[in-house]
A = this chain, B = another copy of it.
Amino acid sequence: MAPSTLTIDPPGLMDSRPTFSHVATSLGDNVRFICTAGQVGSDAQGNIPSDRTEQIQLALANLRRCIEAAGATVKDIQKLVYYIVDYDHTRRDHFLPLKAFLNGHRPATSLVPVPKLFKPGVIFEIEAYLAVPQRSPQNVDVVVVGAGLSGLSAAHQLQEAGFSCAVLEARNRVGGKTWSVDATDQGKFVDVGAAWINDTNQSEVFALTKALGLETVVQNTTGRVVQQDIDGKVSTFVYGDVPKALSEPGGAQNMLDIRNLTEEVCQKLDVHHPVRIGDDLDNMTLEGWIVSNGGGKTALASATVWTRAMLGMEPKDMSALFFLNYCKSGGGLMQMRSDLKNGGQYLRLVKGTQSLSIGLAEQLKPGSLSLDDPVRYIEQSPSGLHVYSAKGKHTCKRVIVSLPTPLYKDIVFSPALPQDKLELSQANKLGFINKVLVRYPSPWWREPGLTGMLQSFTGPVSVTRDSSVDPVGSYSLTCFVAGDAGRALSTLSKAERFKVVTEQIKATLGVAAKVNIPEPTGIEEHEWAHDLWAQGCPCPAAPPGTMTKYEHALRSSHGKVHFVGTETAYEWKGYMEGAIRSGKRGADEVIRALNLAKL
């Protein structure tokens, strides 16, 4: 029997152990009741703004996060209770933030002036009681958890094979980390998530692109790349070449040697059995491996550009084996990093990569897809396989979970995941990438002979690329703010972040172009690490020892529950290609099992 109440601790809130959870929700067929802990204006680190209004706004943002985590909305709030220190009925500084938060909804409410709250400095606390209506219990062959590219691909293949399928998505949109934003509503999409494909070795994603009739543009590689050295000095080199005059003596050659060694060693790996010949590589971090192979400051800075742009992490954060196998999954470091034909960044889509997900979703049978519907409990019991999501319960024959491994913790599995799979999910870490998209009225970098690409050994922007879509007159630079530099920048306000990014563009591309840079027409970003349903981007990485211990558990199913996601792909891990391939692999597993069960 399912438990009556599930507790949830949404990431991004202060640690609630050992005495409470931030959210409690009942499980039921008709209405779920949800209550939250009192939320205060504190970030995950316990920092509390001294300004009363800011603190109230942060408390409300935290409450919203709790509500979202439970698969509910502000409209589902039945009751609010808030506690105010130094309450003054002539001031009522909670009123405007609360009004904005509620946006017309009027739950039953109590206001409680109190002499103090749980910690000095806290002047506002708010708790909510909510109810979410439940559809009647559903029966399907397969439930797919997550409507990113892997989940949608699995569902599509399952329905093609004649199986009924429900896709439950936590977000209010499909696409997962394919998310194309059209801020100006003029068809000028920018990809705040996955952006590039190719038409040769990424056969699945290109086939889907063709099948959906989506228009592509070739990544601009004409001109010179701007190099920002470890001392901040700016130089340029022709795209495809390597920087030569760098400040560290011998640094340029050392960097080249490490790059070549990386390529050579990764090519020796068998993506189907990476651990067999790589046990030694899994004993050390990528940084340790580079240093032990004579890599100096410049070589390490160059590797940092790779890991930041590819995984949102530092070379110290991942096992050498993990990184090398990751490269190999995309055909090797050189191919994965390349913007040319056959490279990882060769083509983009005019309408953005989310159009792949939207296109797949539109091909699903009507009623298959449920948005705003996070799954929190999966039960395999004698009475069957049951999936409890925000809006109800599905009983099914198989489940496909398409979440990154570190997010398995957000679903309660009954029985629990096997130990190895559980430990794998705890060991793998998600990186930090914020792709800041700076939109310009024109591609001002081209006339002075630049590709729009920056490679910076100082940061905080590690890499930029020209992400213009010329046919629709959309011009932009994609700025990768990632890894430790990205996390540091993230502590600033949005306005401050954007200022730092545009200043760095001026100081690098601007200086090299020797032109006055026009003012941006707009800036988009998405901090995936703070996204409740991503918690990082693009793909988890494994610290030393993890692959040796748990690689065998990466794709293993748990009873009738199967696992997909781009990190589980053999080829093009972390890319959309890997997502689609993993989804099809999961669908194949399920189809085989269900067909076998028919015999």
Interface residues in chain A, defined as those with a beta carbon under 8 Å from any beta carbon in chain B: 1-5, 7, 16-38, 75-81, 83, 87, 89, 95, 98-99, 102, 104, 106-120, 125, 127, 129-133, 135
Contacts and interface: CB of A to CB of B under 8 A. Distances in A.
Contact of A113 (B76, B104, B106, B116): B116
18 contacts: A4-B130, A5-B78, A7-B108, A19-B102, A19-B106, A19-B109, A26-B33, A28-B133, A29-B30, A35-B79, A35-B108, A79-B129, A81-B110, A87-B116, A111-B118, A112-B117, A113-B114, A113-B118
A594 B452 CA distance: 71
Contacts of A18: 99, 104, 106
A104 B17 CA distance: 10
Nearest to A76: B4
Contacts of A117: 111-113
Contacts of A77: 5
Nearest to A25: B78
B31 A26 contact: yes
Nearest to A118: B111
Contact of A108 (B24, B28, B32): B24
Given A35-B129, A108-B7, A135 B30 contact: no
A5 B131 contact: yes
B3 A75 contact: yes
Most buried by B among A5, A20, A33, A102: A5
Contacts of A110: 37-38, 81, 83, 125, 127
Nearest to A116: B113
B21 A107 contact: yes
A554 to B, nearest CB: 31
Given A31-B31, A87-B118, 12 more contacts: A4-B133, A21-B107, A24-B108, A28-B133, A29-B29, A29-B31, A33-B131, A35-B108, A36-B108, A81-B127, A110-B125, A129-B129
A102 B26 CA distance: 18
B19 A108 contact: no
Given A24-B108, A110-B37, A116-B113, A1 B80 contact: no
A112 B111 contact: no
Contacts of A127: 79, 81, 108, 110
Contacts of A115: 113-115
A5 to B, nearest CB: 5
B37 A133 contact: no
Contacts of A5: 75-78, 107, 130-131
A108 B20 contact: yes
A442 B75 CA distance: 61
A23 B107 CA distance: 8
Contacts of A108: 7, 20-24, 35-37, 127
B133 A2 contact: yes
A232 B2 CA distance: 60
B33 A106 contact: no
Contact of A114 (B26, B112, B132): B112
Contacts of A114: 112-115
A372 to B, nearest CB: 12
Nearest to A131: B26
Given A2-B133, A30-B30, A106 B76 contact: no
Nearest to A26: B131
Contacts of A98: 19
B31 A27 contact: yes
Contacts of A23: 108
A38 B111 contact: yes
A132 B27 CA distance: 9
A29 B135 CA distance: 11
Contacts of A17: 106
From A102, A118, A120, A131, residue with most partner B Cβ within 10 Å = A131
Nearest to A117: B113
A110 B113 CA distance: 14
A33 B36 contact: no
A34 B78 CA distance: 8
A80 B20 CA distance: 9
Nearest to A83: B112
Contacts of A1: 133, 135
A133 B3 contact: yes
Nearest to A36: B108
A24 B106 CA distance: 9
Nearest to A107: B24
A129 B20 CA distance: 14
Contacts of A79: 24, 35, 37, 127, 129
Contacts of A104: 18
Contact of A21 (B89, B106, B116): B106
Contacts of A20: 80, 106-109
Nearest to A35: B79
Contacts of A37: 79, 108-110
Q: Which 10 pairs, one residue from A and one from B, show the smallest C-beta to C-beta distance?
A: A38-B110, A20-B109, A28-B31, A26-B131, A35-B79, A24-B78, A24-B108, A37-B108, A29-B30, A4-B131
Contacts of A130: 4-5
Contact of A19 (B25, B99, B129): B99
A109 B23 CA distance: 9
A78 B38 CA distance: 13
